Chains A and B, each alone.
Chain A
Amino acid sequence: MNSTGNYNDFSVEDFVWDESFRQWVLSPAEDLNVFWHNWLLQNPNKRSLIQTAIEIIKETKIKEPEISDAEIFDIVNSVVDRLDKSGSGEKNGSRLIFTRWYYGIAATLIIAISVSVFFINRPVGHIPNNAAHVTDYKSLVNNSAEDLIERINNTSAPLVINLTDGSTVTLYKNSKISYSASFSRVEKRKVYLSGEAVFEVAKNKGKPFLVYANGLVTKVIGTKFKVRCYENEDKVTVDVSSGIVAVASMKDKNLKETIEDNKGGNIILTRNQKVNYTSSSNNLETLVVDEPVLINVEEADYKFKETPVETVFKMIEDGYGITVIFDREMLSKHKITANLKNKTMYQKLDAICKALDVHYEISDGKVIIYNK
């Protein structure tokens, strides 16, 4: 049992780092017990030394991470369950119950800074829950009436997909999308997503671009945004880098009206805004805006000359107590020259939008400016 020499000559530290001695102290077995008890009997003068060494060994514990036996069993069980299904060609095992999907984010990805979200019509968490709705990728794809093309990215490099309407989808690792085989000819441009992708949408006034991801629908009004939802994640995240998107839960009973038909009742995200949606609880994380109630009695001077758009909209907001949502970046350079005094709010809006070549919609007390 001597590894490096005679135990009689051992110092404290020699014992501390002796394999056999350590094993006896930490996880004793029959044969070790016998050996060491005998040795101590034969060397009673070493008792103190040994005691020191034992104490040191016992108390120099490594800090190990916590994990319960229950959790280990759960994980093992989930893997064992998948044993049959592995080898089916699913490269990265995307069907496992991963605790989290981990991947690298390239520096070129545009990640929006989350600020606030304007909430329209529906209070948080009160989205009507239609239990019959199945909202996961697979079901949506299977239930689609149209012929779909599916693109899968199992590689670690992002995959750029050009859609026939001129839009581009950059599909990230372990992600897949499905879209109509005749994408440029359908009434509504629908894309089903599992995973993560950045969308650059070609403008098309008549045809909204809709992304369906794990219970959340994102409609594009602007140009560039990212959707993230992985198959076994409960969460969906939408980041907007430019333009405006409207999001709604698929479980919304009036989904068709809410988002597909532009009737409002959805959440509008403008540039640098973010919404988090949790499928299981059908919960959209938003900040509720205080409804402005201030209404000016006197009409302010609505005579504009080379006035920045931002100022114009601000005056309308202040004057009518109605929020105007517009893409600041897109309209930042524009100026308005017009005399809008004594016109109704709608007339003012009409005139402004005509000048900017945009159009607006009213959604429950807010004005939303859309690209044409």
Chain B
Amino acid sequence: MNFLANSFESEESLWRNMLQGEKKAFERLMILHFKPLFNYGCKFTSDADLVKDCIQELFLLIWERREKLHTEVSPKAYLMASLRRSLHRKLKSNNPLFKYSNIDESVSDFQLEISIEVRLIQKELSRNIATQLAENIALLPQRQKEVVYLKFYHGMTRNEIAETMQISQQTVSNMLQTALQKMRGELQGLFLKGISIDPDVKKQMGI
């Protein structure tokens, strides 16, 4: 997991130094962000090489335009937003069917897959919940999946997600809420399957 919350301070200064032309800062920045960007990009396409190319292009472009960039931005959000934009553009232009479509979803599926190591889960309850969760997440609509991913697996704030996906913060909140409801919705169903639950847990679930 790449929660950059702890290194937020240094990241801001890295960005600022990069903008001023410091190559070392640029290098650090790129190393820091490469994997998260790569992970994110690969959710939109299975073409890993395309994603790598886009990331390289992106950083080069940033360097070229560094004098025109804002100092007070969230570098992560800026990078993720730029990658998203350029990837979508490339994917659209390579798929003539979608050339004239404005629908974001149609361009690329958000491929979020949860893998569960069932045998590593000790408790039966945990196993059941985890399995159910994975199913529920798979059934989420594309953009909700994306929001969930950015929030819980990239640790992005509502603001950062809004900037990345080019939507309002309110929309982010709404989508998150809806998604969480859906993800948890099936929990009640587990009881009908007659699975024994810790009495404490039962109490917590309001049953």
Chain A interface residues toward B at CB < 8 A: 9-13, 16-17, 19, 22-23, 26-27, 29, 45-46, 48-49, 51-52, 55-56, 59-65, 67, 72-73, 75-76, 78-80, 82-83, 86-87, 93, 96, 98-104, 106-107, 156
Question: Which residue of chain B is the closest to A12 with respect to CB atoms?
Answer: B201
Among all A-B residue pairs, the 8 with the closest Cβ atoms: A55-B126, A99-B49, A65-B42, A63-B113, A100-B49, A26-B1, A11-B204, A104-B94
CB of B31 within 8 A of CB of A72, answer: yes
Contacts known (A79-B56, A86-B60); A49 close to B200, Cβ less than 8 A: yes
Tally chain B residues at the interface, Cβ within 8 Å.
61
Say whether A51 contacts B123, CB under 8 Å: yes
Q: A27–B3 contact, CB under 8 A?
A: yes
A contact residues around B34 at 8 Å (CB): 72, 75-76
Chain A contacts for B30, CB-based, 8 A: 76, 79-80
A sample of 17 inter-chain contacts (CB < 8 A) reads A10-B204, A11-B206, A12-B129, A12-B201, A13-B129, A17-B180, A49-B200, A49-B201, A49-B204, A52-B123, A56-B133, A60-B133, A72-B34, A83-B60, A87-B64, A96-B56, A101-B53
Q: Per-position contact with A for B1-41: 1 when CB-CB < 8 Å, else 0?
A: 10101100000000000000001001100110011001100
Q: Is the beta-carbon distance between A60 and B1 smaller than 8 angstroms?
A: no
Q: Tell me if A52 and B198 are in contact (CB < 8 A).
A: yes
The interface bits of chain B over 37-60 (1 if a CB of A lies within 8 angstroms of the residue's CB, else 0) are: 011001000011110110111011
- Determine if A83 and B149 form an interchain contact, defined as CB atoms under 8 angstroms apart: no
Q: Contact: B60 with A12, CB < 8 Å?
A: no
Chain B interface mostly = helix
Known: A23-B5, A59-B121, A102-B94. A79 touches B204 (CB 8 A): no
B120 at the A/B interface (Cβ < 8 Å)? yes
A62 to B1 Cα, complex, angstroms? 10
Given the complex of chains A and B, what is the CA–CA distance between A12 and B127 in angstroms? 13
Q: How far is the CB of B139 from chain A (nearest CB, A)?
A: 15
The reply to whether A60 and B130 contact each other, CB–CB distance below 8 Å, is: yes
* B53 in contact with A83 (CB, 8 Å): no
Given known pairs A22-B152, A62-B153, A93-B57, the reply for A104 and B204 (CB within 8 Å) is no
**Which of chain B's residues have a CB closer than 8 A to the CB of A102?**
47, 49-50, 53, 90, 94
CB proximity of B80 to chain A, nearest CB, Å: 15
Option from A27, A52, A60, A61 in Cβ contact (under 8 Å) with B125: A52
User: Would you call B198 and A86 a contact (CB within 8 A)?
Assistant: no
Is there an interface contact between B130 and A86, defined as CB atoms closer than 8 Å? Answer: no
